[in-house]
Amino acid sequence: MKQPAGVILAGGQSRRMGGGDKGMLTLGGETLLARVIARLEPQVAEVALNANGDVTRFEPFGLPVIADSISEFPGPLAGVLAGMDWAAAQGHSHIVTAAADTPFFPCDLVPRLMLAAERAPIALAATPDPERGLARHPTFGLWPVDLRDDLRAALADGVRKVVAWTDKHGTAMAEFPSTPFDPFFNVNTPDDMARAEGFL
């Protein structure tokens, strides 16, 4: 498998933070989005940003911005589809997605997802969970762009949960340690931002 393209998912509505772009919030003097780009860029062939609305607000980052092709904010699967369509046009066979509000994800995310994908078409990141055994992080995955038409049909049929679609195709888990804290911790609320400051 060649180096995949990277797609940062920033298409959500950030209701719990009062709306707006969570990725533009500042953590330790840098925006969350800048931190995510800095972690993802060295691991992939190129990076695009999945976001909706006025694209000019992302101009300082110098990345292509791709909007959902499906209206009414159907969730992260729409961002995955937008990323697949963009990557296919660039000649990539796979994409890796990362969430724009998760500034501490692992610096070896992509190689470990690629290794996991030797066992199944799709690979998702996961961490140990005391209650569930293994907690999947469905916005952090490796996706073959050949599945984009299947995903398009699933979204048209009303599928919204990531794992409802991935489980149908076979999914491997790339397991990451959750100490000293879960690297897939994401900022949803002002309290989460305070915790992230502590993690820094």
Binding residues for GTP: 9-11, 22, 50, 68, 101
Instruction: Give which of 26, 33, 43 is closest to 11, Cα–Cα.
Output: 33
* Known binding residues: 9-11, 22, 50, 68, 101
Task: Give the integer Cα–Cα distance in Å for 126 and 62.
Answer: 30
Task: Give the integer Cα–Cα distance in Å for 25 and 196.
Answer: 12
Task: Give the integer Cα–Cα distance in Å for 128 and 148.
Answer: 30
Instruction: Give which of 80, 119, 120 is closest to 98, Cα–Cα.
Output: 80
Q: Give how far the C-alpha of residue 11 lies from the chain's centroid of Cα atoms, to the nearest Å.
A: 10
* Known binding residues for Mg(2+): 101
